[in-house]
Amino acid sequence: MKLALTSDFPTTANAAVIDAIRGAAADPRIAWIPPVTSQGRERFPAARERFALLGLARLEYCDIDEAPDEQQLARLVDHDVIYLTGGDPVVFLDRLRRRELAVRLQDCAAAGRWIVGASGGAMQVTRNVSLYRLLNVPVDDVVADRGRFEALGLVDCELLPHLNRMDLAMREAVREYSEHIDHDVIALADGAALLHVDGEVRCTGVAMRFRRGTSSGLRSEAGAGARDTKPLP
Rounded to the nearest 10 degrees, how much is the dihedral formed by the CA atoms of 13, 55, 198, 11?
20
Using CA atoms, how far apart are residues 92 and 94, in angstroms rounded to an integer?
5
Give burial (CB, 10 Å; 0-12/13-18/19+) of 100: exposed
Strands (E), the chain: 2-6, 29-33, 58-61, 81-84, 114-118, 157-160, 184-188, 193-197, 200-204, 206-211, 214-219, 230-231
Listed in sequence order, the residues at least 6 apart from 192 whose beta carbon sits closer than 8 Å to its beta carbon are 6, 7, 14, 163, 203, 204, 205, 206, 207, 224
Q: How confident is the model at residue 215, as a pLDDT?
A: 84
Q: What is the pLDDT along the chain (233 residues), one digit of tens a residue?
A: 999 999 999 999 999 999 999 999 999 999 999 999 999 999 999 999 999 999 999 999 999 999 999 999 999 999 999 999 999 999 999 999 999 999 999 999 999 999 999 999 999 999 999 999 999 999 999 999 999 999 999 999 999 999 999 999 999 999 999 999 999 999 999 999 999 998 889 999 999 999 998 888 775 534 333 333 333 33
Using CA atoms, how far apart are residues 206 and 192, in angstroms rounded to an integer?
6
78 DSSP β-pair partners: none
- Cα-based distances in Å from 161 to 46, 58, 103, 171, 194: 21, 26, 25, 12, 11
Using CA atoms, how far apart are residues 168 and 165, in angstroms rounded to an integer?
10
Q: Is the peptide bond before 10 cis (omega within 30 degrees of 0)?
A: yes
Sequence letter at residue 132 = Y
Domains of the chain: 2-231 (3.40.50.880)
> Under DSSP, is residue 6 helix (H, G, I), strand (E, B) or coil?
strand
216 DSSP β-pair partners: 209
* Helix or strand run (H / E) with residue 37: helix 37-53
Tell me how many degrees the CA angle 231-51-77 measures, rounded to the nearest 5: 75
Among 109, 140, 142, 147, smallest CA distance to 5 is for 109
